[in-house]
Amino acid sequence: MNGRPETLKSIRCRLGDREVAILDDALWPVGMVDRLTAVHTSVRGRVVDAKGVGVAGATVTVPAEDVTVTTWPDGRFRLPPPVRGTRGRTKLEITANGIVLDEPEVDLAAPGREEIVLRVTRKPTAVLYLSPGDCWQLDELPFSVQVKRHVRRHLDAGRLVVVPSRAVEVGGYATAAFFSHDTKTGHIEAVTEDGLCGSTTMRQAWGGALQSLAGDLKKSKGKTGAIHVYRGALLAWWNFARYRLEGRSVRDTVKTLLVEMDAWQVSSNMLTGLEHYAGGKVRGKLAAKMNQAMSNVDGAGARAAFKIGYLGSTVFLSTWPGDPDEGGD
């Protein structure tokens, strides 16, 4: 500005009889600029399936802008402002687990647009019944070497294996599991990708969550903030209610909560996203101000406090009466 390297948040000028305000940073408080007519900011969106359930871990690509983002646990995502002057309908590409779900065309710069909702159809998964003589079909299935080894072991034992035709998404992660049926005794065993019985998956989820908490506690040096405990408990309750309304069992819901804990800690952080603006200066200044009012707004202590509240509520939810056939598990 006037030959000096200054960064201005806004410019106010007069064009004829009109007063014009140009905003350089969309995060700057808009109330300080009169007669604001347009803001070029990031585009918020959400990827959902046919039932309106968010698709986690999906990849949203804007080829024209060379931009790729990944959806959060609830299917939401945020695209940066167009930098190549993209106007009109723009082609997007939505993929999940390496499969293209849809390629919609959306006007990202439409006036008044607040959020775009992209509805996709999840690819159906066929169920295969493999007998001991069907080992040759394993070579054609898109599974890891580990899964194929476990399936082959059960087939060699003379069992009937019931397996999906591809990996499925559980808690935002692609995984595979199968049923092993002993046709002589009628005994059916659920086997997960690691080769263990499916009844141990809840214990594994708890173990991973507690290990994550222990790591943060070690780094926090005893500095935690009570506000983050409340934040974690609130998110655990909200997600529990949301998943139960979708028809999920209590057991599956709690397991999903544990798997998604770290992702929710990141996506609900009070400072998440601000690192992309002004080289992180906005985030640093806001963190400093907030740290004056409460302890450890960001960092390992905040993560640990969040997980304490989250896991504390999840323990309570895991004892919910639940479905009659679950026995309160």
pLDDT bracket for residue 297 (50, 70, 90)? low
Give me the domain span that covers residue 268.
Answer: 201-326
Give the mean pLDDT of 312-326: 60
Of 196, 218, 238, which residue sits at a domain end? 196
pTM attached to this predicted model: 0.41
48 token code pair: 């959902």
What is the Rg, in whole angstroms, of the alpha carbon atoms belonging to the chain?
25
One domain for residues 206 and 316: yes
Contacts of 165 by beta carbon, 8 Å cutoff, 6+ apart: 125, 126, 127, 128, 141
Residues 72 and 175 placed together within one structural domain of the fold:
no
Same domain? For 215 and 303 the reply is yes
b/e code 270-293 from CB counts within 10 Å (16+ = b): ebeebeeeeeeebbeeebeebeee
Instruction: Say whether both 207 and 321 belong to one domain.
Output: yes
CB-based contacts of 294: which residues, under 8 Å, 6+ apart? 225, 227
- Statement to judge: residues 87 and 176 lie in one domain: no
Q: What is the H or E stretch that residue 20 is in?
A: strand 18-23
Q: Do 218 and 318 share a structural domain?
A: yes
Number of domains making up the chain = 4
The per-residue pLDDT for range 112-143, each reduced to its tens digit, is: 666 888 999 877 777 888 888 888 888 878 78
Domain boundary among 170, 196, 222: 196
Q: Measured between alpha carbons, how far is 136 from 147 in angstroms, rounded to an integer?
A: 14
Poorest-confidence range of 23-27, 67-71, 122-126, 187-191? 23-27
Same domain, 111 and 132: no
The Cα–Cα gap between 190 and 164 comes to 13
91 in the same domain as 139: no
Report whether pLDDT(232) > 50: yes
Token readout for 35 is 């007669």
Are residues 225 and 312 both part of a single domain? yes
Of 94, 119, 144, the one marking the end of a domain is: 119
For 240-257, what is each residue's pLDDT tens digit? 888 888 777 777 788 888
State whether 285 and 222 are in the same domain. Answer: yes
CA distances from 91 to 86, 94, 260 (A): 11, 10, 30
Is the pLDDT reported for residue 147 higher than 60? yes
Closest alpha carbon to 193 in 161, 153, 150, 158: 150
Q: Which residues pair with 106 in a beta bridge?
A: 90
Does residue 165 sit in the same domain as residue 259?
A: no
Structure-block tokens of residue 325 = 């056939």
Same domain for 107 and 23 = no
Q: For the residues 311-325, what does the mean pLDDT come to? A: 63
